[in-house]
Structure 1
């Protein structure tokens, strides 16, 4: 899972990134709001955002995130420790709020609560704006359902469960169509083509002469 930290205090930024990576998360960090806003299109499960930033404020970053990735979790942090910050953040729809100074472990607990302790999340795969509900066999782009055939769905999940790995057509046939399939490998290409058409922002790249890979940033 990906976490983005937006914190202008460099030492605190580094500490939070280090501890979150020790928990097994992939972490990007930003020292200002504008750089963070430019990264909103990257796959992100949770944002940790300082309200006070040198070039803008955390509320502005929050609004930009919700415009593009409304399902991302957001935790606000603030040094001001004012009740108004907490109330504004919660009214805007943030998932949690923590006041400085705080123990790093406290933030880790809150992050884990949002990302690891939810049974619902364990049944969801995310790829940018796409969400795959494994328990329901349904795929959504924001709030709109994407209709996939059974094989398209199975292949999509296979890609998402094996990111950044080149999968040969033979591997895909064996996994999705099993050994009983006697047809051409062209069925793999046709199925990938249909997934690309229905989910154009999904980064499924062709490995020429071999197969395909899902590129997860």
Structure 2
């Protein structure tokens, strides 16, 4: 069953845009344009609230008070165009789990939602295998065809970029030293600087920005869950 997300945003165009991006991830999204309608839905207890702080009738602060009174553990993401630092601090004090200042890219909200759902509900693993196909949201990796797609569009990778991606896709969370990556991708007979690894990582990060390939300084890299 898909996660149920309640979005409260009074700017209609932005509301519709964000709802579309969220639904494209397969989530069940209900959107509200004012606080009164959202308040009447609190008892239904969705899996996640996304609240604009400045909304008509009942503002985001009042809503989060009532939400947390009925369901203390339900996660909440605050969004606001006001004083970012002040709203962030107040929101965290009131129980919000994340804060996103306007303006922001809809894709950034999607990434924040994925991370929060994964942390709170122990969501499905980053990698799901089906035959020779790996799914690393939002990417699909066909190992046999050596093709990567995102939203049905191919991500163009070189042979070594694909090999690196496959290495991390099959070893989620495992740290690899530069020397290990060299042996795995370039082979035992490679002679040269290990800085080629840094360049390869940089290119993959640029082409697939929603992967989380973390740098382990003085050692190497690892890919962690979104």
* Smaller-chain TM-score bracket: 0.5 to 0.7
Asked if 2 retains the 8 angstrom alpha-carbon contact of 1:78 and 1:100, the reply is yes
Correspondence for 2:20: 18
Asked if 2 retains the 8 angstrom alpha-carbon contact of 1:5 and 1:27, the reply is yes
Higher relative contact order (CA 8 A, sep 6+): 1
Structure 2 counterpart of 1:37, from 23, 26, 39: 39
Deviation string, structure 1 residues 64-112 (Cα, Å, up to 9, x no partner): 1011111211000001133211110011121000000000010000000
Structure 2 counterpart of 1:59, from 58, 61, 65: 61
- Tell me: CA distance 1:34–1:103, structure 2 relative to 1, closer, same or farther (3 Å): same
Deviation string, structure 1 residues 114-141 (Cα, Å, up to 9, x no partner): 1135673559xxxxxxxxxxxxxxxxxx
Partners of 1:43 and 1:14 lie apart in 2 by 21
Partners of 1:49 and 1:119 lie apart in 2 by 19
Q: CA RMSD in A?
A: 1.8
The 3-state SS of whatever aligns with 1:41 is helix
Q: In the TM superposition, what are the counterparts of 1:147-162 in structure 2 within 5 Å?
A: none
Asked if 2 retains the 8 angstrom alpha-carbon contact of 1:48 and 1:76, the reply is yes
- Structure 1 runs (4+) greater than 6 angstroms displaced: none
How far apart are 1:42 and its partner, in Å? 1.2
Residue-pair matches, total:
123
Partners of 2:113 and 2:106 lie apart in 1 by 11
TM-score normalized by the length of structure 2: 0.52
Asked if 2 retains the 8 angstrom alpha-carbon contact of 1:81 and 1:100, the reply is no
Correspondence for 1:50: 52
- Tell me: CA distance 1:119–1:84, structure 2 relative to 1, closer, same or farther (3 Å): closer
- Tell me: CA distance 1:43–1:93, structure 2 relative to 1, closer, same or farther (3 Å): closer
Structure 2: gaps (5+ residues): 126-226
Asked if 1 retains the 8 angstrom alpha-carbon contact of 2:53 and 2:78, the reply is yes
Partners of 2:71 and 2:13 lie apart in 1 by 28
Partners of 1:24 and 1:9 lie apart in 2 by 23
- Tell me: CA distance 1:119–1:91, structure 2 relative to 1, closer, same or farther (3 Å): closer
Structure 1 counterpart of 2:95, from 93, 96, 101: 93
Correspondence for 1:74: 76
TM-score normalized by the length of structure 1: 0.54
Deviation string, structure 1 residues 42-65 (Cα, Å, up to 9, x no partner): 140000000001212101000110
